């Protein structure tokens, strides 16, 4: 086999494999937009400081994924959330719980907050049913891939753990 044939085979193989796998450090993708492991860590740290305990990483990934779908749909209905509104939203939460408000949030923390804020505003809207239907349709139409580490979405839009039948857990007490 010539060098040119080998090089061509490698390029084709890389292209095929690249389409099947996420880049290292990727927790999820939504229509080719990455949610990185760093995003998950940053948002988790923000919410640990805000809530007093670390949230479940799966819930953080779910919110980061859904924010990318929810934001444009909400905007179609005139519902938006600036960074300042999200920070105020968190400030109101802190005041209601007596917690110390955070001064700064990571971009990922703001994205999770934006998702929570927009979902709350959408539920209060007169168009709540239409917004909900459009968000569901957008979610179903989106090209979403989640690392097995965090799970997979079911038909109902829930991020659930992926079962690996080859992994067995043993109870040491038995």
pLDDT tens by residue, 97-109:
888 888 899 999 9
The pLDDT assigned to 155 comes to 87
- CA contacts within 13 A on the Cβ side of 171: 2
- For residues 58 and 40, give the distance between their C-alpha atoms in angstroms, rounded to a whole number: 9
In the chain, domain spans: 25-147
Rounded to a whole number of angstroms, the CA Rg of the chain reads: 20
Q: What is the model's pTM?
A: 0.81
- CA contacts within 13 A on the Cβ side of 131: 22
Residue ranges, the chain, pLDDT below 70: 1-22, 167-174
């Amino acid at each position: 086999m010539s060098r040119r044939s080998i090089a061509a085979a490698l390029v084709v193989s890389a292209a095929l494999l690249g389409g099947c796998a996420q880049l290292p450090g990727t927790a999820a993708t939504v229509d080719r937009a990455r949610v990185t492991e760093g995003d998950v860590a940053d948002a988790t740290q923000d919410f640990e400081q805000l809530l007093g305990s670390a949230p479940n990483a799966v819930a953080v990934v779910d919110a980061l994924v859904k924010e990318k779908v929810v934001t444009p749909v909400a905007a179609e209905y005139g519902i938006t959330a600036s960074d300042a509104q999200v920070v105020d939203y968190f400030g109101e939460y802190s005041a209601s719980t007596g917690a110390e408000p955070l001064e700064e949030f990571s971009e990922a923390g703001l994205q999770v907050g934006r998702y929570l804020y927009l979902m709350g505003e959408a539920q209060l809207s007169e168009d709540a049913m239409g917004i909900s239907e459009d968000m569901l349709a957008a979610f179903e139409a989106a090209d979403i891939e989640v690392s097995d580490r965090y799970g997979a979405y079911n038909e109902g839009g829930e991020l659930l753990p992926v079962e690996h039948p080859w992994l067995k857990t043993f109870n040491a007490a038995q």
